Amino acid sequence: MESATPRVRAALGGLVAFGLLAAFGAGTLAGRHLTLTRVTASLAAWDDALTLGRAADLDGARERLAPAYLDPARALSEMDDYVWVSPNAPAPFLGTTVAKRDDHRARVSRRGFRGPHDPTRMKPAGRTRIILLGGSTAFSVGAPDDAHTIGGYLERMLALHGDVEVLTFATPAWASSHERVAIENVLRHLQPDVVISLSGTNDAVWGAAGRDPHFFRAYYEDAYFRVSAAVGELADRSFVDPVTVRELGPVTPVELAVERLVENVEISSFVLAKEGATYLYALQPTLFAATRLSAREEALLAAQQPTRHEYFDALYPHIAARVSALAKEQRNLEFVDLSDMFAEEPEGEYFLDGFHFGDRGNERIAAALARTLEQRRLLPVTLTMRDPRSGR
């Protein structure tokens, strides 16, 4: 028995060591599982709105959205394929851009341009290059396919009269600060003739949400921050979030939100002037500024948050006045107010919600931009635009 004691002690010691190791392993696995759960949750929430059909099912809105399309019956049957919240990928200095994808509904290049390929840095001789910049409206979320986006319609309208290329570089939730960085770091190097910012809505949305327009993260940027925070905690490397939401409510329009937008437009215009390019700032249409709505669209407006409606009412006129005045000072800057453009269009259904459109709205916005380019002679060669309404 005495000779067995060391073996028993050794066995007990081994069991204890194994138990401690198992406990450590279980704790590590549990920690990793909890971290993975947080990471998954931070990104999986976007899956619910990946397509227009999924987003519509959240509040039973399929039938309510279909009239905004040129072919409502087709839209109703194909809505599950229409891209809505496309996945984003972290991008240098830009926060995020739309992640690369290649399907029959929405193709996105590696660097985030809507289309199958990144544009060449040097444009072909004789080509006019127009770049459409902005957030989800410029990206044309909810479009049946690439051909029915604002950029797709615009290129076809212009290509009938020359070698004109329209590139779309847009990411949902981008505001004027993102657009400025995109112009400085990406677009200026692509030899653009005209850069169009179809913009304004997201500066108002983020201002209404109490986000400092000088210093905020958009939705996907915030998701990736939460992922980083979760992984950091696993590595015992926690950090403080430098971004805060104003506790006093929406950002005062004139004092901060409009000032930042105007600064971004001014800097963007200056940068593009050095490249010999024109900068067209188009204040985008919004349900909040519309003066002629259908009964369905009136119901959409009534369902919006009253505080957001009030904020848009305060902000939009100031944007129009300030950027219009700036355009008189900056030689390469042009401004067009499209905020209530559908009042001038044939009666019909245009809005999907407060800011987005079916293909009927995309086509009309493209036509308005095409007319602006022609009437103001913003292209190297004056073109005669084709208006889809005329059939000519």
Q: Tell me which architecture the domain covering 88-216+246-375 has in CATH.
A: 3-Layer(aba) Sandwich (3.40)
d(CA 116, CA 107): 5
Amino acid identity for residue 135 in this structure = G
Q: Which secondary-structure segment (H or E) carries 281?
A: strand 278-283
Q: What is the pLDDT of residue 3?
A: 52
Q: Where are the domains of the chain?
A: 88-216+246-375
Helix (H) or strand (E) holding 36: helix 4-44
Q: Provide the pLDDT for residue 336.
A: 98
What H or E segment, with its residue span, contains residue 134? strand 128-134
Asked whether the beta carbons of 150 and 156 are under 8 A apart, the reply is no
Looking at residue 390, what is its pLDDT? 42
Cβ atoms 356, 326 nearer than 8 A? no
In 273-332, where do the E strands start and end? 278-283
Q: pLDDT tens digit string along 167-188?
A: 999 999 999 999 999 999 999 9
8 Å CB contact between 130 and 192: yes
Residue 389 is predicted with a pLDDT of 47
Q: How many residues does the structure list for the chain? A: 392
Q: Tell me how far apart the alpha carbons of residues 55 and 84 are, in angstroms, rounded to a whole number.
A: 8
What does pTM read for this prediction?
A: 0.87
Query: For the segment 71-105, what is each residue's pLDDT rounded down to a tens digit?
Result: 999 999 999 999 999 899 999 999 999 999 988 88
pLDDT (tens place) for every residue of the chain, 392 residues total = 455 566 655 555 554 444 445 444 444 444 455 556 767 776 777 777 889 999 888 778 899 999 999 999 999 999 999 999 989 999 999 999 999 998 888 999 999 999 999 999 999 999 999 999 999 999 999 999 999 999 999 999 998 878 999 999 999 999 999 999 999 999 999 999 999 999 999 999 999 888 887 889 999 998 888 888 888 887 888 888 888 777 667 887 777 889 999 999 999 999 999 999 999 999 999 999 999 999 999 999 999 888 889 999 999 999 999 999 999 999 999 999 999 999 999 889 999 999 999 999 999 999 999 999 999 999 875 444 444 444 43
